[in-house]
Amino acid sequence: SKLLIEACGRCICFDQSNTYLAIGTTNGLSIYSLTENPTTYPLTLALSTYRKDSNEEFSDVKFSPNNSFLASGSRDNYIYIYQFIKSSDSSNYITQLKLLYKLKGHSSYITHIDWSVDSTLLRSTCGAYELLLWDITSGRLNGVSNISDIKWKSNHCIFDFNLMGIWPPFADGTDINGLDVSVDKTMNRELVVTADDSGYINLLNYPCIVQYAPRKMYSGHSSHVLSIRLYNPSRETLNAVSVGGNDCAVMLWQIISTIPNNMILDRNSGKYKQKTINRSDYDNSLY
């Protein structure tokens, strides 16, 4: 389905039911509804509601895991928290966005936001390299000390202890535009991919805390890469989709695991595990 929006789109997010689509633009925040079954084609998008609470463009937008809230970060240094209200009539796709909080604390434009899995906390990063934690129930900064114990629905904030090694030599906080973390089920390990200003897609192990961590770099975009996301088209397959800047290109990537010599396939689980070397496997003549 093709959709003509009223202004340049900057960020996009589906709700948890894949029925509503939030688009942050240079001129406000719009919610569109899929008026047909989202599993069939063609899809039909209809404008459900519109808000303009910021004079600047929105840079990130995300529905909460419980689908009750919508958070949107803006270039005006604020994060807007809305209550997402759907019609009780299943045939009526009109929704409402009720502004609950205007979160103030960042000293520069908002770059990324993540919800906790219980929809009570939000973390955010900004152009001043700040990482802040918010309590959504009160609309205030949260001073919790055990932030490492919090489970996040997504991992898109570029400043984090587990991501210290993603930065290449001589990089500043603007050289990486986006990242994502997911599990490579074939090798039973976590991976992180980053999109940078040099036009590269970088693949690293996660957690990534070693300075200048080893990585594999892939080119394809002819300009800076704005964002990247990982997804699983099948149970044992991990792919990525990246969005370019000036080249206006969307590229799909398949992540292919290289099997080390010390790994074997476990036929019961379908995953690779470390090979167990028995004494009988050695040539006795070597001793």
Higher pLDDT, 112 or 17: 112
pLDDT reported for residue 181: 95
204 — pLDDT class (breaks 50, 70, 90):
very high
User: What's the sign of the alpha-carbon dihedral 171, 176, 180, 185?
Assistant: negative
210-236 confidence digits (pLDDT tens): 999 999 999 999 999 999 999 988 877
Higher pLDDT, 225 or 35: 225
pLDDT reported for residue 121: 95
264 — pLDDT class (breaks 50, 70, 90):
low
pLDDT reported for residue 146: 74
- pTM across the whole model: 0.84
Examine the pLDDT at 278 and tell me if it is beyond 70.
Answer: no
Entry field: residues in the chain: 287
114-161 confidence digits (pLDDT tens): 999 999 999 999 999 999 999 999 999 987 767 778 999 999 999 999
- Comparing C-alpha atoms, which of 227, 190, 232 is closest to residue 208? 190
98 — pLDDT class (breaks 50, 70, 90):
very high
Mean pLDDT of 154-173: 93
C-alpha dist (Å) from residue 208 to 27, 166, 189: 37, 7, 12
Higher pLDDT, 265 or 180: 180
The mean predicted confidence, pLDDT, of the chain is 86
257 — pLDDT class (breaks 50, 70, 90):
confident
Residues 30 and 8: beta-carbon distance below 8 Å? no
pLDDT reported for residue 7: 85
104: left (phi over 0), alpha (psi -120 to 50) or beta: beta
